[in-house]
């Protein structure tokens, strides 16, 4: 049961059939439209303008679709004046309306808990981005990167947003302002800036002329190598990217990378997959940020499923962010331990392509700090002891030099540091069982061919294993012994048949 299920006292979610560490994946389904939109013609449904015009933007509208208690309604109405709300019909239709704990709902629908600051640690600007702004809207924190806030507008207002202080500001502006020009000038005057992140709000909500101004002005600066567009449009309103003019604009700049933001496997719909494919085909790498959110994705099962689904649409999981202590979003924060537990269950268990870097964006503008479980267990003058995902402890020569440690009677990890042993292998790992079977199968084949000539054995492509050859395997386990016995019996039967001409 995930932490969020326990908290919400929900029944445990159905397990996704685990056989030898393999999970069954649900293929992405097409979102079902809520009944009120079922008769909307596809041309309208697939039109981003229609989606924006029909977005749910008030608590009054929300009440038509979802049930709330009276207390919740009064809290939400009070919140409404402070925090904006927008949920396009496409994204709303991903919500299971009967589940108050639905992970899509939690991201999009306001909660009375936004009035709380559970730890007292929440801040308006927890990353102190505003303090690192040499010109309004541009944060210059890292040596070679700059972040440009291009708009306050988003297609959907995420309830956990780190920049709530900005995205919740009412109104936007369509014209290119003096501040916009100042940001471009700053980048031009700072040759150390090589990577510019156009963010917001969501830059893909900008009118095309203003977006063109940012993309083309930044891309035209010779020392800028990368223009990153931070956008949740592929997740919350993929129809915006059905617009070829927008895709062409982004592609023509040639330096554009897309930084998107999927948080849950159910967000990876055929529509989202389609636009990611369009972006990739147009030559733009697509990377993903996920924010670790209580109740949304704070379980290993959900996170594995999300990372695998991202790989299937060729989107590279890039960062897993620990949720920032933002005013009004404290209820989304998990412990750091939860993040480490999830990383422990990802690394080694699935393709490295699907492993994001887990980061804490630190207070005081310290920037992103990566966290991961410890893989370095111990060290000496000669070697280090490393741990793999199975719990195997391995001695690794720290540098190429003769050993300096004089062996002493000892045990455990200390033995590895002494160099008396090279690994401590846990019992019953799948890998060691497989290895032992390979060794036994090779032995059986070698025995089978021992009556024949040695060249024949070599011709089979399987070199015989001499009885004395060390295998590096732990002691035999009952299951393996049984399987090995079966392999040996089969080989003996084959041999007997051969001898008798059968
Ligand atoms: S899309 Fe990004 S900027 Fe906009 S509300 Fe969501 S997290 Fe914040």
Per-residue pLDDT, averaged over 452-463, amounts to: 49
What is the rounded distance in angstroms from the CA atom of residue 323 to the CA atom of residue 162?
8
Query: Are 199 and 304 members of one domain?
Result: yes
Q: At what angle do helices 178-188 and 208-219 cross, to 10 degrees?
A: 20
73 in a structural domain: yes
Confirm whether 6 is domain-assigned. no
| β-strand pairing of 367-370 with 256-260 | unpaired
220 or 21, greater pLDDT: 220
Q: Which of 93-107, 141-155, 448-462 has the lowest mean pLDDT?
A: 448-462
Residue 159 lies in a domain: yes
CA distances from 281 to 11, 204, 212, 337 (A): 42, 18, 20, 39
391 and 452 together in one domain: no
Beta carbons of 192 and 145 less than 8 angstroms apart: no
pLDDT at 429 over 80: yes
66 neighbors 97 (Cβ within 8 angstroms): yes
Contact 204, 229 (CB under 8 A): yes
Tens of pLDDT, residue by residue over 180-222, are: 999 999 999 999 999 999 998 899 999 999 999 999 999 999 9
Atom 8 of ligand 1, residue of closest alpha carbon: 161
Give nearest CA residue, ligand 1 atom 1: 232
The predicted model gives 24-49 an average pLDDT of 81
Q: How many CB atoms lie within 10 A of CB 206?
A: 23
pLDDT at 164: 76
Could you give the number of structural domains in the chain?
Answer: 4
pLDDT level of residue 173 (50, 70, 90 thresholds): low
Range scoring the smallest mean pLDDT among 258-262, 295-299, 320-324, 473-477: 473-477
Residue 203 in any domain: the answer is: yes
Please give the distance, rounded to the nearest whole angstrom, from the Cα atom of residue 293 to the centre of ligand 1: 14
Asked if 89 and 55 touch (Cβ cutoff 8 Å), the reply is yes
Q: What are phi and psi of 368, to 5 degrees?
A: -80, 130
- Lookup: tokens for 316: 């590279």
Looking up tokens 């704990």, which residue turns up?
101
Residues designated as active site: 141-142, 145, 154, 158, 161, 163, 324, 361, 368
3-class DSSP state of 372? coil
Which atom of ligand 1 is least distant from the CA of 157?
5
CA of 443 to the centre of ligand 1 (A): 60
pLDDT beyond 80 at 175 = no
Per-residue pLDDT at 494? 59
CA distances from 100 to 7, 14, 32, 39, 162 (A): 13, 18, 18, 26, 23
Nearest C-alpha to atom 6 of ligand 1 is from which residue? 158
Q: How far apart are CA 11 and CA 231, in angstroms?
A: 34
- Whether residue 140 is predicted with pLDDT greater than 60 in this model: the reply is yes
Atom 3 of ligand 1 has which residue's CA nearest to it?
201
Q: Is the Cβ atom of 264 under 6 angstroms away from ligand 1?
A: no
Do 361 and 244 share a structural domain? yes
Report whether pLDDT(278) > 80. Answer: yes
pLDDT: is 24 or 375 the higher one? 375
Judgement on whether residues 154 and 270 belong to the same structural domain of the protein:
yes
Whether residues 70 and 212 fall in one domain: no
Residue 418 placed within a domain: yes
326 touches ligand 1 (CB under 6 Å): no
pLDDT on residue 84: 87
Ramachandran area for residue 431 (φ above 0: left; ψ -120 to 50: alpha; else beta): alpha
| Domain shared by 225 and 276, yes or no | yes
- Of residues 180 and 453, the one with the higher pLDDT is 180
Q: What Cα–Cα distance (Å) separates residue 417 from each residue in 373, 385, 387, 399?
A: 21, 7, 13, 13
* Residue listed under structure tokens 């390979």: 438
To test the pocket of ligand 1, the residue of 200, 264, 329 to mutate (highest count of ligand atoms within 8 Å of its CB) is 200
Last-in-domain residue among 90, 115, 140? 115
Q: How confident is the model at residue 131 (pLDDT cuts 50, 70, 90)?
A: confident
- Say whether both 219 and 106 belong to one domain: no
Please give the average per-residue pLDDT across 455-482, as a whole number.
42
Q: Is 154 in the pocket of ligand 1 (CB under 6 A)?
A: yes
Cα(4) to centroid(ligand 1), Å: 23
Whole-model pTM? 0.84
Among 82, 115, 148, the domain-final residue is 115
| Integer Cα distance of 48 and 31 in angstroms | 16
Predicted confidence (pLDDT) per residue in 395-414, tens digit? 999 999 998 988 889 999 99
Cα of 304 to ligand 1 centre, how many Å? 23
Host domain of residue 209: 130-370
Task: Please name the residue whose Cα sits nearest to atom 7 of ligand 1.
Answer: 161
Q: Is 377 exposed, middle or buried (0-12, 13-18, 19+ CB in 10 A)?
A: middle
Same domain, 51 and 188: no
Neighbours of 492 (CB within 10 A): 13
Alpha-carbon gap, residue 321 to 463, rounded angstroms? 49
Ligand 1: distance of its center to the CA of 368 in Å? 18
């Amino acid at each position: 049961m995930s932490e969020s299920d326990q908290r919400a006292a929900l029944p445990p979610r159905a397990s996704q059939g685990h056989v030898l560490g393999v999970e069954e994946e649900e293929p992405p389904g097409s979102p079902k439209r809520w009944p009120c939109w079922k008769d909307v013609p596809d041309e309208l449904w697939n039109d981003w303008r229609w989606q924006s015009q029909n977005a749910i933007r008030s608590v009054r509208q929300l009440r038509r679709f979802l049930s709330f208690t009276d207390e919740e309604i009064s809290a939400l109405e009070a919140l409404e004046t402070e925090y904006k709300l927008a949920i396009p019909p496409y994204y709303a239709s991903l919500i299971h309306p009967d589940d108050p704990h639905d992970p899509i709902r939690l991201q999009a629908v306001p909660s009375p808990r936004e009035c709380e600051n559970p730890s007292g640690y929440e801040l308006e600007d927890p990353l102190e981005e505003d303090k690192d702004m040499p010109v309004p809207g541009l944060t210059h924190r890292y040596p070679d990167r700059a972040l440009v806030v291009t708009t306050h507008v988003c297609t959907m207002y995420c309830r956990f947003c780190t920049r709530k202080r900005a995205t919740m500001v009412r109104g936007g502006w369509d014209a290119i302002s003096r501040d916009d020009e100042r940001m471009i000038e700053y980048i031009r005057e700072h040759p150390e800036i090589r990577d510019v992140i156009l963010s917001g709000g969501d830059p893909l909500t900008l009118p095309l002329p203003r977006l063109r101004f940012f993309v083309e002005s930044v891309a035209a600066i010779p020392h800028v190598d990368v223009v990153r567009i931070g956008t949740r449009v592929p997740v919350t309103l993929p129809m915006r990217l059905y617009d070829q003019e927008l895709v062409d604009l982004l592609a023509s700049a040639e330096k554009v990378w897309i930084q998107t933001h999927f948080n849950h496997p159910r967000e990876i719909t055929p529509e989202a997959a389609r636009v990611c494919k369009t972006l990739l085909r147009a030559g733009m790498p697509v990377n993903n940020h996920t924010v670790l959110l209580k109740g949304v994705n704070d379980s290993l099962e959900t996170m594995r499923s999300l990372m695998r689904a991202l790989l299937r649409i060729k989107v590279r999981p890039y960062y897993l962010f620990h949720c920032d202590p933002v005013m009004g979003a404290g209820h989304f924060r998990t412990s750091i331990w939860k993040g480490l537990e999830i990383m422990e269950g990802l690394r080694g268990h699935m393709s490295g392509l699907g492993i994001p870097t887990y980061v804490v964006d630190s207070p005081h503008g310290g920037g992103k700090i990566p966290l991961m479980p410890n893989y370095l267990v111990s060290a000496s003058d000669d070697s280090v002891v490393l741990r793999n995902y199975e719990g195997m402890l391995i001695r690794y020569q720290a540098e190429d030099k003769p050993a300096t440690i004089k062996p002493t009677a000892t045990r455990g990890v200390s033995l590895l540091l002494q160099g008396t042993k090279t690994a401590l292998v846990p019992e019953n790992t799948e890998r060691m069982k497989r290895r032992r079977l390979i060794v036994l199968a090779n032995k059986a084949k070698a025995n089978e061919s021992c009556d024949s000539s040695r060249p024949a054995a070599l011709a089979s492509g399987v070199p015989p294993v001499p009885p004395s050859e060390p295998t590096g395997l732990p002691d035999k386990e009952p299951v393996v012994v049984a399987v090995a016995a079966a392999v040996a019996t089969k080989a003996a039967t084959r041999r007997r048949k051969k001898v008798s001409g059968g």
